[in-house]
Amino acid sequence: MLGCMRLVLLFTLSAVPALAQEPLRQQIRVIAHDAHGKVSAACSLAGSAPNCDLNPNAQPPMQSVFKLPLALTVLHEIEQGTLSLDQPVRFLPQDRILPHVYSPLQDKYPNGGVDVPLRELLRLTVSLSDNVAADILLRLVNGPNAVNAYVGALGISGTSR
């Protein structure tokens, strides 16, 4: 709960004038230190430059955030008629990954070898952050390069995978 309160504090204080933001910068440094990892953060107020950043140009990996552009790519393919929400997608035995990876899909079908409706793979990926379902969707759209190409075609740049 404390982590959530800190994040709310981080975003609500982003409107504080630049001179008063040193305490916010210190708070970000404390959160980053407590995370025991590589942390990058940037705060901004609409119409102004970031003014409370910590390694803002570090380009950290997207981690589970990549599931949003993945879902957008899948939905685009559905709009184009290449894919259908109701089509079955094979959960292949080789789609299974490490045993300690979060995947309700893998938990339900530990051996794979079943057909799963595309809409269910999307739901699992976006709503539950299911890593195996996301990997299956990546396979379905021909990998991360296809996702990057679609996102780039939307005019979005500067993302890293």
Domain ranges of the chain: 1-58, 63-153
Q: pLDDT tens, 73-113?
A: 999 999 999 999 999 999 987 777 767 788 999 989 988 88
Query: To the nearest whole number, what is the mean pLDDT of the chain?
Result: 79
What gap in Å lies between CA 104 and CA 120, rounded to an integer? Answer: 11
Q: Is 64 a catalytic residue?
A: yes
SS (H, E, C) the chain: CHHHHHHHHHHHHHHCCHHHHHHHHHHHHHHHHHHCCCCCECCCCCCCCCCCCECCCCCCCCHHHHHHHHHHHHHHHHHHCCCCCCCEEEECHHHCCCCCCCCHHHHHCCCCCEEEEHHHHHHHHHHHCCHHHHHHHHHHCCCHHHHHHHHHHCCCCCCCC
Catalytic residue among 40, 44, 48, 64: 64
Query: Are 90 and 105 in contact, with CB atoms under 8 Å apart?
Result: no
How confident is the model over 5-56, as pLDDT tens digits?
344 444 444 445 555 667 777 888 888 888 877 777 766 666 665 566 677 6
Question: What is this structure's pTM?
Answer: 0.65
